[in-house]
Amino acid sequence: MHSLPLLSALSLATLVTGRPSKLHSRNDVSRTTPPSGCLSVGSDGTYSTIGNALDALDSSSTSACIFVYSGTYEEQLTIDFGGTLTLYGETTDSGTYKDNTVTITHTISSEDAGSLDLSATVNVVSDGFKMYNINVENGYGEGAQAVALVGNAEQLGFYGCQFSGYQDTLYAKAGTQYYSNCLIEGADDYIFGDASAWFGECDIVSTGSGSITANSREESSDTAWYAIDHCNIKAESGLDLDGKVYLGRPWRVLARVIYQNSDLGSLINSAGWTTLADGATPLFYEIDNAGDGSDTSDRVYESSISAAVTKTTVLGSGYASWIDESY
């Protein structure tokens, strides 16, 4: 019997998927009690709601953390804290969203609320905010814009989280943002805005026909990107969306989005991209992707690029000082 040479994990992943796959480097561990120094929320905690815990922080500008015990919290939150704040959800496996036990939910459309931001279940305007293993949903459903999360600050990090809605689920509005090992689901323009955002190792799941991204970059001097890297782009299980979903459309005229090193499922329309803003000249890129929806021969509005972009390009040269690279 002939022995085969040992393959590295990365090489094996490339053989199996047809593309390089970024593997988790963290030790996946449970988080079932509050980390040292954290306020606690829930049936076993000091505070009954997350809002109460936020109020207890008052006007402090020091670093703080809040741990949330398992449960569904029907709240609408604005994260506007003077220091750097981390929000942890209870979980038996902190390395994935799949074992999350904490959900923050609210149901209102932007029309009823008065704006996109006011419809959000969680609206983050605090620089340096981090969230781990928490589900955020807007339960409004089909028929109107209804935001689950607004990210409107610098150096935001979301790890092992779920964001669920229908139209306009995740408003990555402004600033620098990092999403790792998250689930993002919706049907139309469900990742939108003008942040410079990196989505790494995420499951991006369409629950209806439409466009995944609607980037709103509109000035050539704007450094913002949406970079979707090592992600799985797929339809919700049981739905036949073959050819009914677009990678994106330009909410504003100079939208800039790249899909790289990702698996694009059969839901992706062969044209890839579609229109929205009048007179748009978007920068829509694809490189080193695989899957049934990755054939670019019939693409429209696609721009050429010679190499995948890096975190430095998207998040700036100091990104390593604020993202959690163990995810």
Question: Rounded CA gap, 243 and 194, in Å?
Answer: 27
Closest CA to 194 of 162, 157, 156, 151: 151
Question: Rounded CA gap, 289 and 197, in Å?
Answer: 19
Just list the catalytic residues. 168, 189
Q: What are phi and psi of 221, to 5 degrees?
A: -80, -10
Residues in Cβ contact with 260 at an 8 Å cutoff, skipping those fewer than 6 apart: 227, 228, 229, 285, 286, 287, 288, 289, 308, 309
In this structure, the number of other CB atoms found within 10 A of the CB of residue 201 comes to 20
Question: Rounded CA gap, 265 and 233, in Å?
Answer: 6
